[in-house]
Amino acid sequence: MYFAVSCYDKENSLDLRMATREKHLAFATDAGARIIIGGALLSADDKMIGSHLIVEADDRAALDGFLASDPYAIAGLFEKVKVQAMKIAFSNPI
């Protein structure tokens, strides 16, 4: 199954995001679920305010376990996480 995941940082948490970023990127590279694409959500003034991922996982329980083990989540970075199952209709290479 595919899931769209939007994670919104707590207010004034850019320092925490940056301090945890290398661990998060290493985790994403060796992820137990397959990240199709991921990146930072940006504010109007180009500051990182969250993350957005398209993830392939066996089911919602597997996705939840994956998300809970992300160093960003462990560090308490996120104020809100929104997950929506999705069906990919098309994809273009980057």
Q: Give which of 17, 3, 2, 4 is closest to 76, Cα–Cα.
A: 17
**pTM given for the model:** 0.89
Angstrom distance (rounded) from CA 22 to CA 63: 21
Structural contact between residues 71 and 17, judged by C-beta atoms closer than 8 angstroms: no
The answer to whether position 37 is within a domain reads yes
Q: What pLDDT is attached to residue 91?
A: 86
pLDDT digits (tens, 9 = 90+) for 47-82: 999 999 999 999 999 999 999 999 999 999 999 999
The answer to whether position 93 is within a domain reads no
Domain holding 69, by residue range, is 2-86
pLDDT bin (cut points 50, 70, 90) of residue 30 is confident
Instruction: Give the domain CATH number at 71.
Output: 3.30.70.1060
